Homo-oligomer: A and B are copies of this chain.
Amino acid sequence: MAESTAPRDAQDLVAATASAARTAQRSIAGAPRAVKDAALVAMADALVAHTDEILTANASDLQRGRDSGMKPGLLDRLALDASRLEGIAEALREIAALPDPVGQILDGSVMPNGLRVRRVRVPIGVVGMIYEARPNVTVDVAALAIKAGNAVILRGGSAAQDSNAAIIAALRSALKAQGLPPELVASIDAAGREGATALMRARGAIDLLVPRGGAGLIRSVVENSIVPVIETGSGNCHVYVDASAQQDEAVEIIINAKTQRVGVCNAAETLIVHREIAKAWLPRAAEALWQKGTTLHADEQALQILAPAAGAGGHEALLEAATPEDWETEYGSLDLAVRVVDDVQAAIEHIRAHTTGHTEAVLAQDASVINDFIAGMDSAAVIVNASTRFTDGGQLGLGAELGISTQKLHARGPMGLAELTTTMWIVEGDGHIRT
């Protein structure tokens, strides 16, 4: 809207960058796979070759972060070393090895009047990305975008600005050396915060905008962008343990879903247990979760069942009464909400009322319970008898992912290369007219 326009110079920078990106994109839109793959491999090599410059820049970001009191967890996500950089370069080579989505024919037929019709994958065009302080995202996004025939305009977090600048310089030098326009990968960090606003208003110049970062960043982009947006990453994931669940398996799965990596969006946040097995199973699961240091936020029934076990094991500090906010919370930490329900239908109602639509798991051996659960869900992924942690581009066979979409349009769940394309209808006739 008019009231949230960016200052003139930020708008100018974004307009000029987007225009150069559009021109550059045309040079790879229909490029053979070999050209794009060679560029990606050259980009990977350039990252390694520029290790010194990138680590020096990263050290300056880290110093600024420490000076401004950045938390250790965030500092760790920002930090690079030669081995992490090699890992980032390796991920880039893996993207080069993926099949090319461009040119794939999705469907087609000969119409009754003889028209030959096909729908073909083509690049989206110019992709914008607004993200926070993780330098590896800069590389992943650039690689996925180019592999799918797109140009990318990056707006990284100010905390990583020196690292991102050094990385982008290395990537652009590789593109140039390959005879490709360096404008395929551009940054608008120079425009500061206003650059992000200008990016969100550049409808037509930018074809797709993907925010990746905290909930505040994502909400701001969703609410302010008139460029089409794909929302990513918010995951209040549930695990329902039915009366028919295989109980040992269920303990392993909830431990994996909650504790294998706590900061990720596909970690479990709420455990829902059928009352018939709650007394037998919940204390076992709780003991294993407590061993990992997990605090349980239990509803009344769960609290009654768990209190004696917590007392006996000395885990009183890891058991709390749940509040209504617990059902809505994506903890991102060793915390788990726990609820006991009467049946699968009650579990479905709880999940539908509180989920962010990312991933829900059902642990059951009763086929009708599994079917009811799947039919009752409205989320990007439903997992049966496995950990929620499998909602991941790599695990589901996409090779790599740009993020995990929790919206229903265009992309739902892990976004791979195909989600960075659109389609074009190609219709061939022999002088056909409509009558």
Stretch of A71-79, A289-297, A375-383 contacting B (4+ beta carbons < 8 Å) = A375-383
Judged by a CB distance under 8 angstroms, whether A374 is at the interface is yes
Closest residue of chain B to A421 (Cβ to Cβ) is B408
- List residues of chain B with CB within 8 A of the CB of A431: 246, 249, 252-253, 385-386
- Please report the C-alpha to C-alpha distance between residue A128 and residue B207 in the assembled complex, in whole angstroms: 23
Give the interface centre of A228, A253, A379 by most chain B CB atoms within 10 Å.
A228
Judged by a CB distance under 8 angstroms, whether A413 is at the interface is yes
Query: Which of the residues B229, B260, B385 comes within 8 Å of A429, measured between beta carbons?
Result: B385
Judged by a CB distance under 8 angstroms, whether A312 is at the interface is no
Interface 0/1 of A417-433, CB less than 8 Å to B: 00000111111111111
- Please report the C-alpha to C-alpha distance between residue A252 and residue B414 in the assembled complex, in whole angstroms: 47
In contact, A383 and B427 (Cβ under 8 angstroms): yes
In contact, B424 and A117 (Cβ under 8 angstroms): no
- Please report the C-alpha to C-alpha distance between residue A4 and residue B3 in the assembled complex, in whole angstroms: 11
Closest residue of chain B to A256 (Cβ to Cβ) is B433
Interface residues on A, range: 35 or more
Query: Which of the residues B223, B390, B409, B433 comes within 8 Å of A432, measured between beta carbons?
Result: B390
Query: Which of the residues B226, B384, B387, B426 comes within 8 Å of A223, measured between beta carbons?
Result: B226
> Would you list which residues of chain A between 16 and 46 have a CB under 8 Å from chain B?
29-30
Query: Which of the residues B124, B228, B427 comes within 8 Å of A384, measured between beta carbons?
Result: B427
Closest residue of chain B to A207 (Cβ to Cβ) is B408
Give the interface centre of A226, A414, A427 by most chain B CB atoms within 10 Å.
A427
The majority secondary structure among interface residues of chain A is mixed
In contact, B386 and A429 (Cβ under 8 angstroms): yes
In the complex, how many angstroms separate the beta carbon of A34 from the nearest chain B beta carbon?
Answer: 17
Query: Which of the residues B115, B208, B224 comes within 8 Å of A408, measured between beta carbons?
Result: B208
> Would you list which residues of chain A between 389 and 435 have a CB under 8 Å from chain B?
389-391, 395-397, 407-410, 412-414, 422-434
> Would you list which residues of chain A between 180 and 204 have a CB under 8 Å from chain B?
203
In contact, A428 and B385 (Cβ under 8 angstroms): yes
Judged by a CB distance under 8 angstroms, whether A277 is at the interface is no
Query: Which of the residues B249, B256, B379, B385 comes within 8 Å of A434, measured between beta carbons?
Result: B256
Query: A222-B226, A409-B228, A422-B412 are known contacts. Are A115 and B386 too (CB-CB below 8 A)?
Result: yes
Judged by a CB distance under 8 angstroms, whether A156 is at the interface is no
- Please report the C-alpha to C-alpha distance between residue A378 and residue B423 in the assembled complex, in whole angstroms: 10
In contact, A387 and B433 (Cβ under 8 angstroms): yes
In contact, B253 and A433 (Cβ under 8 angstroms): yes
In contact, A381 and B427 (Cβ under 8 angstroms): yes
Give the interface centre of A4, A383, A432 by most chain B CB atoms within 10 Å.
A432
> Would you list which residues of chain A between 99 and 138 have a CB under 8 Å from chain B?
109, 111, 115, 117, 122, 124-125
- Please report the C-alpha to C-alpha distance between residue A379 and residue B358 in the assembled complex, in whole angstroms: 32
Pick the 5 closest A-B CB pairs, nearest first. Answer: A386-B429, A256-B433, A249-B431, A386-B432, A408-B422
